[in-house]
Amino acid sequence: MKTALIIDGNYLLHKDVFILYPLKTLHIDLLNLLKLDIERLMKLYAFDEVYFVSDSSKGYWRKMVYQNYKGDRHPDEKIDWGWVYKEYDKFKNHVLNNTSAKQLQINYAEGDDIIAHIVNNNNELGYSNLIIAADSDLHQLLRFDVSKQYINLAYNYKFSDERIYAPENYNVYFSEVTRKASNTLFDMTDDDEFIKFLSDFIFKTKTIEVSTEELLFVKLIQGDKKDTVPSVHLKETKTGKMMGIGKDGAKSIYKLYKETYNNPINFDSDDFVDKATEMVSYVKKVTEDASLSLIKDNIRRNRKLLILTSKYLPKQLLEKFNKEIEIGQSRFSSPEIDDFFN
């Protein structure tokens, strides 16, 4: 069984900044705390591959698709972010020169894009992946396959309130892989070792099971407030404010969808767009053709912005991913954005 550790570097950075800033030791301890983080994480297990991933510093391709993407995000002005990112550059040099991690930062790509690409490719090769991140967007990657013997988990790495996010029914994977791997009474195989590591890790850490299908359906219908991606259906209130479908409403629509169409959802299909529009329009009592057409367009927009898959990446960016991930050191890359949408 092959294994990979994938570290969201921007998550580590922001975690440490907001630990140290209230203590008034940010300018003293940031670099040392980041180094301590990477050392601890790489000692978790003897992973076959380790990836250290960072966001682009030149903007995101989604901003070119949807201008308001992440438009409401404003950094804490009390923190000197220019200094913080200079320290982060020093840390990335430390990772590059002092660890075995493959470091990846690709212009116009978010770290989530790169992580998803690594995970999806690794799963095809039978790799299990432990993702170090706090972003719930990455929970759509949580899944397992008994036949290929892989499982993807996310670890919200903190000094307190640590959490493991696991795919729904992950115990089925553990039971089946353990049964297949236990061919000897005395010598532990690599499979046995990894399952023991995961079992011990989960036992010691609060574990939350995630239904990736429901999570993704709800996200597409509700939108994503933190990324300024709106709901697929907006209605003007008496005060003139536009109100979308909230989390509870999106969950109700998902429940109705599954009661009506009980097969696994293929989110990339036109069939999904049609059926999801049908469910939204039924619940929200939308009948006008123009409104129905707008709901369909909004589902397609949210799908492109929120689903982490190579299907929705610009072609040139996807080619850059494949090249740089193979090399494993891409932080000086400069793809031409002008070609992405031609």
Please tell me the predicted confidence (pLDDT) of residue 261: 96
Integer Cα distance of 113 and 53 in angstroms: 10
Q: What is the pLDDT of residue 188?
A: 52
Copy the structure tokens of residue 98.
């002092």
- What is the per-residue pLDDT for 33? 97
Residues 141 and 193 in one domain: yes
3-state secondary structure labels for all residues of 34-51: HHHHHHHHHCCCCCCEEE
Q: Which residues, at least 6 apart from 225, have a Cβ–Cβ distance to it below 8 Å?
A: 72
Residues 6+ apart with CB under 8 A from 87: 30, 31, 34
Phi-psi region at 199: left, alpha or beta (left = phi > 0; alpha = psi -120 to 50): alpha
Q: What distance in Å separates the CA atoms of residue 108 and residue 165, rounded to the nearest whole number?
A: 28
| 8-state DSSP, 265 | P
What one-character-per-residue DSSP string does 74-108 give? ---TTS-HHHHHHHHHHHHHHHHHHS-PEEE--TB
Q: Within this chain, do residues 69 and 126 fall inside the same structural domain, yes or no? A: yes
Q: Please state the domain count of the chain.
A: 2
Instruction: Provide the pLDDT for residue 332.
Output: 35
Say which amino acid occupies 154: A
67 and 181 in a single domain? The answer is: yes
Spatial separation of the C-alpha atoms in residues 4 and 114, rounded to whole Å: 14
From CA 259, how far away is CA 265, in angstroms rounded? 12
Query: Per-residue DSSP letters for 116-158?
Result: HHHHHHHHHTTEEEEEE---GGGGGG--EETTTTEEEEEEE--
- Regarding whether 261 and 180 lie in a shared domain, the answer is no
User: Residues in the chain with pLDDT < 70?
Assistant: 159, 181-191, 325-342
Residue 178: per-residue pLDDT: 76
**Same domain, yes or no, for 300 and 326?**
no
Q: What is the pTM of this model?
A: 0.90
| 180 shares a domain with 231 | no
Helix 9-20 × helix 26-42 angle, to 10°: 140
Q: How would you class 290 by CB atoms within 10 Å of its CB: exposed for 0-12, middle for 13-18, buried for 19 or more? A: exposed
Give yes or no: residues 40 and 153 share one domain: yes
Residue 100's nearest CA partner among 57, 157, 43 is 43
pLDDT given for residue 77 in this prediction:
84
DSSP 178-193: HHHH---SSPPPHHHH
Note whether 67 and 22 are same-domain residues: yes
Of the CA atoms within 13 Å of residue 87, those in its CB half-sphere come to: 21
Residue among 72, 57, 58, 52 nearest 114 (CA): 52
Q: What are phi and psi of 112, to 5 degrees?
A: -60, -40
- Which pLDDT score, from 0 to 100, does residue 236 have? 83
Alpha-carbon distance of 1 to 144, in angstroms, equals 13
What is residue 246's predicted lDDT score, i.e. its pLDDT?
Answer: 96
Query: Domain containing 198 — which CATH number?
Result: 3.40.50.1010
> Domain of 39?
2-167+169-210+310-339
Shared domain for 230 and 219, answered yes or no, is: yes
Same-domain check for residues 159 and 10: yes
CA distance 15 to 66: 28
Tell whether 194 and 233 lie within a shared domain.
no
Same domain as 201, residue 67? yes
